[in-house]
Structure 1
Amino acid sequence: MTEPKIFINKLKEDIESSNEIVLKSLSGSIDRLQKAFPRYESFLMEFLQNADDEKSKKFSVHLKDDSLIISNDGNPFSERNIQSLCAVGDSDKLLDNYIGYLGVGFKSVFLISNYVKVSSYPYNFIFSKSVWEKNRFPWQVTPVWEEKFVDEIDNFKTKFQIQIKSASFIKQIQLELTANHINNRILLFLKNIETIAFIDDLSGTKREFTKSLIKETEYYKIWSITEGESIEKWLVIQDEYEVPEDVKKDQITIDWERSEVKVRELAAVFKLDDYSNIISVHKATAHIGVFSFIPIKEVESGLKFLIQADFITNLGRGDIDRDCLWNKWIAIKIFDLITNKCIQIFKTNDKWKCNFTNILYPFDPSTGHTLFIEKILNPLKTYLEKESVFLTEKNEFIKKEEVIWLDADLIDLLSDNDISHLFPNRKVLNRNCSTYLSEYQDKIYPKDYDPFDYDKFGKELFEYKASLNDSEWFNRFYAYLLRKYNKSYFHQYSQPNVKHDSFWNDLASTNKVFILTEDFSLSSPKNSYTNPDNLEIPPLIKKTLKVVNQNLLINPSFEAFKKYLTHTRFIHSNKTECFKKINHQLITNFLLENEALKLTEADWISKNEDEKIKFILVLIPLLNKIKFDDYNFLTLPSKSGTWLNPKGLFLSSEYDPETHHLEKIKDEGFLDLPVEFLSPVFITKSETINKSQLRKFFRNLGVDDREKEKNITERIAILKVLKYELDEGRIARELGGSEKPGYDIESTNGSIKRLIEVKGSRDSKPNIFLTSGEYTTLFNNSDKYYVYVVSEAIKSPIIHIVPGINLLEIDETNVTFDFNKWYPKKLN
């Protein structure tokens, strides 16, 4: 080996003695090469990768005042290393074994510095612009021997002392040293470096992160990366792939000096939690990256894990070249690595086999680098949707279309035969699986906390189990409800006590049938009965009187469920009576109901008044079961004692004291039409039916007929206005039907005459509608035309007086033309 100082001086002299034109061309080439780097800070990644190539274990970047010291403990510089450092586009590295290009990448440091000192014993030299007087001299590749070594060599074998040009570059470097720019997981993709330290004296901060091998098998490695108090675990799966001949012969492969490369190693890296489960690397917490052999940093891939490969970059090293054959081959092989190696490893691991599909399924197959979308994301999505990758309860792997996803508690309630019957050709997804099927349509899962939101599945399940006379299963189901939806379950929600009570009250009042009966049919809790006295039930009503199955009643689980369903509340009590006890009166009522539902007109006519009243009271609770058109022969008693068609009756004040004042209005003399009111006998004869139910039932029969009410409303309005005019000292006369010229009442006071059109309404804020005759009269007599609006006519009539001239001033009016008036008699 040549003596170090002599070797450096000889390199310097060789460059100095070059032709002037050659020197200028070389200088220009170096300038352009430097500017090709995408960011000024790119040189840090170059130094890091070159240190790894030289088998460094430690790497340090130390920012001090206006200088940056970069150190490593790898192999010291050799003569060949220095020659590469002083050349342009040359490297001493074998492509099969190295990822960095020292000669090319090192030049990027001169973007931020005009002075770099290199100390790698026994070599000590500088690259300095100030040494040379010529402006176009290639000082960046011309070493100058330096006698004094860099201070504080410590345990490092090679150091670079870099003087920074300006304060703006210092700020950029400070930013680059943060976790947002250089993530500690870069250690995963370095073969030799185990510790990286970033020290910033200017801000007083220090980052140091270290990797340690936790586990190594024939197929994968697990590493931990420690930074401060943070420890992350990573699963690294690697494989080597032989480069095809057509890829080697591609011009871009040749240009990037890959034509002699025989194999390339690829890696897929998955984050592990504290329990060694694989988890997603989310955009929100860290970049998802692809590390190349040169400093492109990280490129977003659209995946939930990391991949590493020797991608070729575009000009400027800022992004991966999406069109070159080399990169397409690598992307295809990454897909192969995932599907042929990673998935096979996952399937054999008890922890990873449950949720790997969730990790492998892309965030969004339409986002990310186009090369990855075409060669990795879309193929991976298709693979996961078509191949057998979903773990069943039986530890088998099946395809997506074979999956049924059940709540874990339901899995325990169903036998294999149950599942085969309910879901032919399907198998239950393993309860521990977390897959990308969260929106999958065949997922049968309770919505929020409703165990019956299973659509067809819930109904079919209960009916199937009832058909098997499987009372034991129903007891287990009730125990499941009681066990799962107790008070502690609702602590996951705000206002847990309210949620709890709402759930159980809804369950008590539901119409869904899940209570097994004595004849192995189904009923809802509110329509189910118990028969503790073993009373004989007439055959006529056995099918309608749903008695709880005896095998349920003797089981403590059902008794506990029944008690909880009907009584256990914290805020809102249960108002629905469930599991009513059968007694003689109940049987009598059921018989009456049965008879009432089969009632004919002839039956009705044959009954006396008391029997009719009793039958009406039986029909009222059946409001939602009967068709009212089938009972148009019914008559009802009026207060006058006459039995009338319901359409000839109005509710009396006893039924609707808040809003129905017709009786009072009639008594006050404001109704001169014949009106009959419904007898209150149904209120006095029933203790269990509330007035709201009574009003709804009778109005469905035809009571409070709206057409009749309209006539009554208009009549009340006329009489109210006549009384008002009299009270005001005017003489009012109602016009007869044959003499109405566009108004209802003439009212005079001496020589002053009012033409009054009366509008009555049951509403509190009614609109005004005028006929064409009324509007014409208004237009021709606006100074004496009035509209008297009587609102709330059947409750508390109020008169509103509107002068006609005010109406004519309203701009926004609607005019309606009757269809029969405008439609032509014959179409041309």
Structure 2
Amino acid sequence: MPQEKISYEEIRSKKVEEYGTQFKDWIWILVKQYKDRTHFLFELLQNAEDAKATSVRLILEKDMLIIEHNGILFSKDDVVSITKVAKSTKGAGGAGSIGRFGIGFKSVYAYASTPKIYSGDYAFEIRDFIYPYEIHHIDLDHDWTRIEIPFNNGEIEPQKAFWEIHRALREQIRSDTLLFLNNISDLKILLNGSNDVIHISKEDRERKGTGGCVLDVSILYEKNRRQREEDYLLFTDCEEEAVCIAFKVDGKELVPVPNTSIFTFFPTDKESHQSFYIHAPFETTPARDNIVEDSERNKVFIGNICAGLQMAFCWMRDNGYLSLAGLNATYPIYQYPEDSIFYQIYENSIRIIAAGEKLIPTNKAGVFKSRSEILLPDNMSIVDNFDDDDIQRLFVSHKIFWIAKEISKDNCQQFREFLKKNFNFKTYTWKDVITRIDATFLKQKDIKWFERLFLAIRSFAVSRTENLGSHGIDVSHIPFIRLSDGSQVCAYDQGAPTVYINNPKIWPNKIENAFIHNSVIKTFYTVNLNVQEYNLVTIVLDDILPKYAERESIEVSAKDLKENISDLKIIKDAIQMSPDIKGSIRDYYVVTDGKQWFKPEELHIPSDFGKQKPEYRLLQGISTLRFITLNYKYDPKLDEKFFVDIGCPDTLQQKACTQNEYLDLVKKYIGGKEKEDIRQKIFKKTYQEGLRWNVLFEGFPEVMNQIDLKKSLGIAGFLSRFVNRFEIHGEIVGAMDQNFTGANVDSMQIYSALGILLSFVPWIYTKDGVKKSVSEIRRRDVNGLYEKNARRLMDILPFVEENQAIEAILAGIEDDTQKEMIKELLTDQESRDKFSKAWKNLKIKDLKNKDKKNKSPKEILEEAAKKKAKGAAPGQSDDPEAVTNPERRQKKLEDEFVKSMDFRNIVSKTSLRYTYQDRLSGEEKAFLKMQYNGYCQICKTTILKYDGEHHFQAINVMKTSELADQYKGALDTGWNSLCLCPNCAAKYQYGVKDISRFYDQVEEKVVEAGSEETIDIQISLQDKQETIHYTPKHFLALKTAMEVFSK
């Protein structure tokens, strides 16, 4: 269509009439409404798009920017419009038009004062914003329009303008700039002449059968002769005012695009918070940098976008574009603020799944199911053992599927939390699944499946109800045992074993050999299912002992005794094979006195059976003891040791008296006040510790009545054999608090029950034949037979002190205070006990100090080298700290170590008293954390705690208890500490290690200035070569300490 004739002078005259001369301020308001003045580039592209241009060139020169396009040529109305304020001819373009020609074009005045326009027959220059002046034509294809933007507005230097626009063209005009344009398909940018070129071209292809709603878009982006091609799936609702959604793709994989903006043909400043593109002809702010939130028109567009999203994801699912990775990366789960119009997108994402759309991923690639068909495993290891077919078979349903295992990984956390927050899926636990297993199901599984399953459930699968606990699963009724004929059985049938792990020939059921020879399966059978070996122990436990579970009321017959002797001989052989069963035997009525059945502890071994037991005669006429039948004696296999092993006592048994019985003894022999003191201070307290006050033996205290010298000597001889089983007196503490702290703690020196009898009952004879209590005679006055037959007892009895000897000792002491103190020690038992305890502790401390005195770190390491000891170990950080000046730092460390050896300096309290980091404090912990950031000095791993902190254990190279005190003052420098993970720490502390060359390696190695390389020390842990990695700073502290302390 030919262009209309135009009179520029006429247009200028009308401008004067319309605006007068006071209009420039209005223009500048329009110009400065953009936050970024280079935004005019998009305005120029918008004008070309509205002119239906397919090809556009942007040419940046030193003093101007030129845009050329092949769109519709300017009309007279366009000339009038472009020189008016807030006036545009684009209304005629309909919904496809982008912006207001009048306002948008004014943005060029941020740089230009006199833009020039060449379009067909028109060639004019705009002056003072609104006045067009005709200019000379240039050589230009008649169908093209050219706009020149000179950098001449006087506000910005041309050079600055050039570089601002240069940066914008390179950074803001991206490959996606043309994505939502209907017309422009080719954009070329020439920077600084033609030396630097950017070329963007776009090609659209409509997908068949979609009615134009799905398009393949290919964009070729070339920059500096380097090309890259980007492919997109574009979805549109094909409305007149169309909304679009675009996903970047690589083949059939969705590629997430981070930090996309909302598009209104071109990107706005509004972030979409999605990994795909959203476009709609939104109503925007005048600067086109944001979306108008309260626009009803925009709300309609958001609704259309929501419908488009549902269509897009369903189409991509049905056409092979949707995978778990793609869904996780692109599904719109971002929760916008509730007062934002974009919040509908988040609600729509929930609504799509809630409505039953099949968008939940399963473990089969490309297969998605609705939320009602999806199951969640309580533990993902369930899915490793039971696939969808297994679950459908066990629960008799073909419409249940596990959710994809991959969703449990960290990269799916946000999508996983979205599903968890908004939907209630049915969850199956190990117990739900395992309890449905039957023999038919198991017969179809191979040995590898069993092995994998048993590894997964061995920590909580039990066959004994007493072992269930809160997390255990009873598997005793599951037929996990695979027999040699291919059938499946339970390990026990009504309590009786169905199989034995060693497949005895005489047993009818045999476990499949391959299962027995698989270590994992065999362990599960024996440990979890309690499958036993068929042996004597099993016979005893399963066949013999049950016969003696109850005490028979009828008298033992000769036949019964014969069978019993035979059973006892088998039991003896079983004990030799497995001594642990002795405890079980003691609970059965397995021995007899010839008349009735008893538990072993109820029948004594008589003197006639073996060695003599004179103490039995002490109880004649006082207490009746029961003895095993002498018929056992005539079988040589059933010796005295065997009966002792199963629990038959071979002497008088120790027993415990009650509190009341004890207090009666206290009152009778010591006094009522003492009885009440013990009751109040000790027995009324909730907790007691200390002296075992209730110890007695069978027949006591009755045996001490009607006593003669022979009986007295018998008592002394018997008790002398067992002095290590009782105490005469000692300290006891009572408290209401189990930690024995607070105001309600009382302690007393008291006599034990046996101590009361031995100390205060007249039972011991003097040389004169008089019967006295121990508390009223001196030891030298006792009948000499006691010293001969019961010296050990005599040594602990509290005889009266030798007063003459005491007086002789005191006479040689002049100082009254010392005399009083020594007298108290010699005469008061409680004081002697306290002194003895303190003296013993002091001697032990002296021995320890003497043992470590003058031991240097070198000597300790040399001792460790002679014996493969137990102890601690080292690790490494990602960024070892270099020592820029090793000599200067070493001098500083030497001064610190020398100073620390001065005993007048207080020893640092930061030495490693504790193993675990959360109980460590001070400089040493901080030093290790700074050097290694929680990474192990041996295996270089770290453990991340729930709060994000790194967990490590601080371990000593040498035990601080072995170091002389003079070497402890500088421990806070970290020279004797290591940063280890719990595994390496345990190996170093408790395992076998060889550090024989530790000291030599420290001497040989040096720290190089500025080096960040670790210094490695070789050791052996658990007979395996390991390396301790030191940072330069840490190693320098160790080396300097070794050198200073060795001097």
Into which bin does the TM-score normalised by the smaller protein fall?
0.5 to 0.7
Q: Name which of 170, 189, 201 aligns with 1:198.
A: 189
| 1:74-113 aligned within 5 A | 74-93=71-90, 94-113=93-112
Q: 1:173 aligned to 2:165? A: yes
Separation of aligned partners in 1, 2:125 and 2:354: 59
Q: Secondary structure at the match of 2:268?
A: coil
Q: 1:459 to 1:795 in 2, by over 3 A?
A: farther
Counterpart mapping for 1:460-471 below 5 A: 460-468=432-440, 470-471=442-443
Instruction: Name stretches of at least 5 consecutive residues in structure 2 with no aligned partner.
Output: 464-473, 557-563, 588-598, 603-643, 658-719, 727-748, 752-795, 802-808, 825-829, 851-1047
Q: What pairs up with 1:327-366 in 2 under 5 angstroms?
A: 327-339=298-310, 341-352=311-322, 358=328, 361-366=331-336
Q: Superposed, which structure 2 residues align to 1:49-128 within 5 Å? A: 49-93=46-90, 94-128=93-127
Q: Which AA in structure 1 matches 2:53?
A: S
Match of 1:811 in 2: none
From 153, 158, 161, give the equivalent of 2:146. Answer: 158
Which letter does structure 1 place at the counterpart of 2:724? V
Looking at CA atoms only, which structure, 1 or 2, has the larger radius of gyration? Answer: 2
For residues 112 and 596 of structure 1, do their structure 2 counterparts lie closer, same or farther at Cα, with a shift above 3 Å needed?
Answer: farther
Cα shift at 1:110: 0.5
Q: Which amino acid aligns with 1:310?
A: P
Change (3 A) 1:325 1:306: same
Deviates more, 1:391-400 or 1:110-119: 391-400
Q: Does 1:427 align with 2:400?
A: yes
Q: Quote the Cα distance in structure 2 between the aligned partners of 1:159 and 1:280.
A: 38
Q: Is the 8 A contact 1:68 1:161 kept in 2?
A: yes
Residues in 1 aligned to 2:165 and 2:548: alpha-carbon distance in whole angstroms: 89
Q: What pairs with 1:411-810 in structure 2 (closer than 5 Å)? A: 414=387, 418-419=391-392, 421-422=394-395, 427-428=400-401, 438-439=416-417, 457-468=429-440, 470-473=442-445, 475=447, 477-478=449-450, 510=459, 512=461, 521=478, 541-542=496-497, 545=500, 562=518, 582=533, 584-585=535-536, 587-588=538-539, 591=542, 618=578, 620=580, 674-676=723-725, 751=815, 753=818, 788=838
The reply on whether 1:376 has 2:345 as its aligned counterpart is: yes
| Corresponding residue for residue 143 of structure 1 | 132
What amino acid is the match of 2:217? W
Q: CA deviation at 1:507?
A: 6.5
Match of 1:278 in 2: 254
Query: Aligned-pair distance for 1:539?
Result: 9.6
Cα distance in 2 for partners of 1:414, 1:380 equals 28
2:123/2:135 contact within 8 Å kept: yes
What is the aligned partner in structure 1 of residue 237 from structure 2? 239
CA distance in 2, matches of 1:792, 1:786: 10
178 and 80 in structure 1: CA distance in 2 versus 1, 3 angstrom threshold: same
Cα offset for 1:118? 2.1
Rounded Cα–Cα distance in structure 2 between residues aligned with 1:420 and 1:469: 8
Taking a change above 3 Å as real, the CA distance of residues 513 and 475 of structure 1, as seen in their structure-2 partners, is: farther
State the partner residue of 2:295: 324
Measured at CA, do residues 72 and 587 of structure 1 come closer, stay the same or move farther in structure 2, by a change above 3 Å? same
Q: Distance in 1 between matches of 2:582 and 2:356?
A: 55
Relative distance call for 1:194 and 1:611 in structure 2 (3 A) is same
Q: Is the 8 A contact 1:508 1:576 kept in 2?
A: no
The letter of the residue matching 1:33 is: L
Change (3 A) 1:620 1:432: closer
Answer yes or no: is the 8 Å Cα contact 1:264–1:310 preserved in 2: yes
- Distance in 1 between residues matched to 2:78 and 2:96, nearest whole Å: 15
Q: CA separation of 1:44/1:141 partners in 2, compared to 1, >3 Å: closer, same or farther?
A: same
Give deviations 1:529-564, integer Å, cap 9, x for gaps: 999xxxx999975158568999996597x589x268
Cα distance between partner residues in 2 of 1:288 and 1:597? 82
Whole-Å Cα distance in 1 between the matches of residues 357 and 10 of structure 2? 68
Residues 1:186 and 2:186 are matched in the alignment: no
Q: Say which is worse superposed, 395-404 or 210-219, in terms of deviation.
A: 395-404
Q: SS of 2:274's equivalent?
A: coil
Find the partner of 1:34 among 28, 31, 34. Answer: 31
Match of 1:663 in 2: none
Write the deviation string for residues 370-402 of structure 1: whole angstroms up to 9, x where unpaired: 2212x3222333333443333687999753243
Secondary structure of 1:50's match? Answer: helix
Aligned to 2:219: 225
Deviation at 1:428, TM superposition (A): 0.8
Distance 1:559 1:203, change over 3 A: farther
Contact 1:390 1:429 in 2 (8 A): no
In structure 2, relative to structure 1, the CA distance for the partners of 1:162 and 1:799 (3 Å cut) is closer
Question: Compared with structure 1, are the counterparts of its residues 351 and 296 closer, same or farther at alpha carbon in structure 2 (3 Å cutoff)?
Answer: closer
Amino acid paired to 1:362: P
CA distance in 1, matches of 2:406, 2:574: 61
| Superposition deviation, residue 291 in structure 1 | 1.2
What amino acid is aligned across from residue 85 of structure 2 in structure 1?
A: V
Q: Distance between the aligned counterparts of 1:529 and 1:587, measured in 2?
A: 23
CA distance in 2, matches of 1:279, 1:77: 41
Change (3 A) 1:511 1:237: closer
**Are the equivalent residues in 1 in contact too, given 2:388–2:400 (CA < 8 A)?**
no
Counterpart Cα distance in 2 of 1:124 and 1:345: 51
Distance change in 2, residues 1:346/1:597 (3 Å): farther
Q: Structure 1 555/281 Cα, relative in aligned 2: closer, same or farther at 3 Å?
A: farther
Aligned residue among 358, 365, 368 for 1:389: 358
Deviation at 1:579, TM superposition (A): 11
**Alpha-carbon distance, 1:513 to partner:** 6.5
My pick for the range that moved more, 455-464 or 34-43, is 455-464
For residues 349 and 3 of structure 1, do their structure 2 counterparts lie closer, same or farther at Cα, with a shift above 3 Å needed? closer
Identity over aligned pairs, percent: 17
How far apart are the structure 1 equivalents of 2:148 and 2:545? 101
- 1:203-239 Cα offsets, whole Å, 9 max, x none, are 9754332222355332310112222443221111111
Measured after TM superposition, the shift of residue 318 of structure 1 is 2.1
Which amino acid in 1 is paired with 2:138? F
Return the structure number with greater relative CO, CA threshold 8 A, min gap 6.
Answer: 1
Per the TM alignment, residue 303 of structure 1 is displaced from its structure 2 partner at its CA by 2.8
Amino acid at match of 2:178: L
Asked if 1 retains the 8 angstrom alpha-carbon contact of 2:125 and 2:133, the reply is yes
Superposed CA deviations along residues 684-729 of structure 1, whole A, max 9, x for unmatched, are xxxxxxxxxxxxxxxxxxxxxxxxxx999xxxxxxxxxxxxxxxxx
Counterpart Cα distance in 2 of 1:140 and 1:552: 102
TM-score by structure 2 length?
0.46
Name the SS for the 1:90 alignment partner.
Answer: coil
Contact residue 387 and residue 402 of structure 2 kept, 8 A:
no
Structure 1: gaps spanning 5 or more residues: 129-138, 242-262, 444-453, 482-503, 568-574, 649-670, 678-709, 713-733, 740-745, 759-773, 778-783, 801-828
Look up the SS of the partner of 1:158 in the other structure. strand
Residue number in structure 2 paired with 1:817: none
Provide the rounded CA distance (Å) in 1 between the counterparts of 2:849 and 2:381: 68
1:213 aligns with 2:185: no
- Contact kept? 2:48, 2:56, Cα under 8 Å: yes
Aligned counterparts of 2:552 and 2:170: Cα–Cα separation in 1: 91
1:321-340 per-position Cα deviation (integer Å, ceiling 9, x unaligned)? 1012111121122112223x
Matched-pair contact (CA < 8 Å) for 1:592–1:618: no
TM-score normalised by the chain length of structure 1: 0.57
State the secondary structure of the residue aligned to 2:41: helix
Any idea what SS the aligned residue of 2:99 has?
A: coil
How much is the aligned-residue C-alpha RMSD, in angstroms? 6.2
* Cα pair 2:253 2:326 within 8 Å, conserved: no
Cα contact 1:54–1:75 (8 A) shared by 2: yes
Q: 1:555 to 1:23 in 2, by over 3 A?
A: farther
What is the alpha-carbon distance in structure 1 between the residues aligned to residue 844 and residue 654 of structure 2?
22
Amino acid in the other structure paired with 1:389: K
